[in-house]
Amino acid sequence: MRSTTYLTAAACTAAVPAVTGLSPATAAPAAPAKPLAEDTADFNGDGFADLLIGASYETGDDAATTAHAGALTVLRGSKTGITTTGAKTLTQNTVGIPSASENEDHFGSAIAAIDTDKNGKPEVYVGGNGEDGYTGRVWNLATAPATGLTGTGATRFGLTHLGGAAGASTFGYRFEG
């Protein structure tokens, strides 16, 4: 004789294994990552992304002592796009920037803007791979609301500061960040 077994509600509950490792359905979804450009490209805090341009073969006013010393230019963004109004060019002769413009410094050989301390003001790192006989250095320039990129408070470092070898390493020839 065939018999039929019916499961009670309690039996059904017991038969379903507990599922672990899943977030409750009511948990708020993770906030989307903030676009990097919003953090790093607006140097003067006006809401428009600005543009850095390296000119590492730039020669200063004195061609005998500043051939290929290099320069860094920043162009402001605006509601009509990049503009030359308010453009700013910095070299190693800019007040606050360590060292001086010299032959073959190649300041501007590489550039990166990173808000390393997440204070809303990006720092700009500039390579000068020809500095000191192609030993090379990297400069850390600050930005500030309204002022934008500035030489004030700039610092620099090289392989020797990081415990690495000295010599013609062209430190700062290229980097990403």
Q: Which stretch binds Ca ion (CB under 5 A): 5-13, 54-62, 114-122, 165-173?
A: 114-122
Choose which of 40, 44, 91, 135 interacts with Ca ion (CB under 5 A): 44
Indicate whether 88 belongs to the interface with Ca ion (CB under 5 A). no
Cα distances (angstroms) measured from residue 16 to each of 10, 12, 23, 49, 147: 10, 7, 18, 55, 64
Using alpha carbons, select from 90, 84, 83, 9 the residue that is nearest to residue 56.
Answer: 90
8 Å CB contact between 52 and 124: yes
Choose which of 56, 66, 94, 99 interacts with Ca ion (CB under 5 A): 99
Indicate whether 50 belongs to the interface with Ca ion (CB under 5 A). yes
CB of 31 to Ca ion, least distance (A): 21
Residue 55: which residues within 8 A CB-CB, separation 6 or more? Answer: 70, 71, 72, 73, 108
Indicate whether 46 belongs to the interface with Ca ion (CB under 5 A). yes
Choose which of 75, 115, 134, 160 interacts with Ca ion (CB under 5 A): 115
- Tell how far CA 173 is from the center of its chain: 16
Residue 66: which residues within 8 A CB-CB, separation 6 or more? Answer: 59, 60, 101, 102, 103
Beta carbons within 10 angstroms of residue 78's beta carbon: 14
Choose which of 57, 121, 134, 144 interacts with Ca ion (CB under 5 A): 121
Indicate whether 39 belongs to the interface with Ca ion (CB under 5 A). no
Q: Which stretch binds Ca ion (CB under 5 A): 7-15, 36-44, 150-158, 169-177?
A: 36-44
Choose which of 40, 105, 156, 159 interacts with Ca ion (CB under 5 A): 105
Strand locations in 67-131 (E): 71-76, 83-90, 107-114, 123-128
Choose which of 48, 134, 157, 173 interacts with Ca ion (CB under 5 A): 48
Q: Is 20 or 141 the residue whose CB approaches Ca ion more closely? A: 141
- Tell how far CA 142 is from the center of its chain: 11
Choose which of 8, 117, 146, 163 interacts with Ca ion (CB under 5 A): 117
d(C-alpha 15, C-alpha 18), whole Å: 9
Which residues bind to Ca ion, rule: CB under 5 A? 42, 44, 46, 48, 50, 92, 99, 102, 105, 115, 117, 119, 121
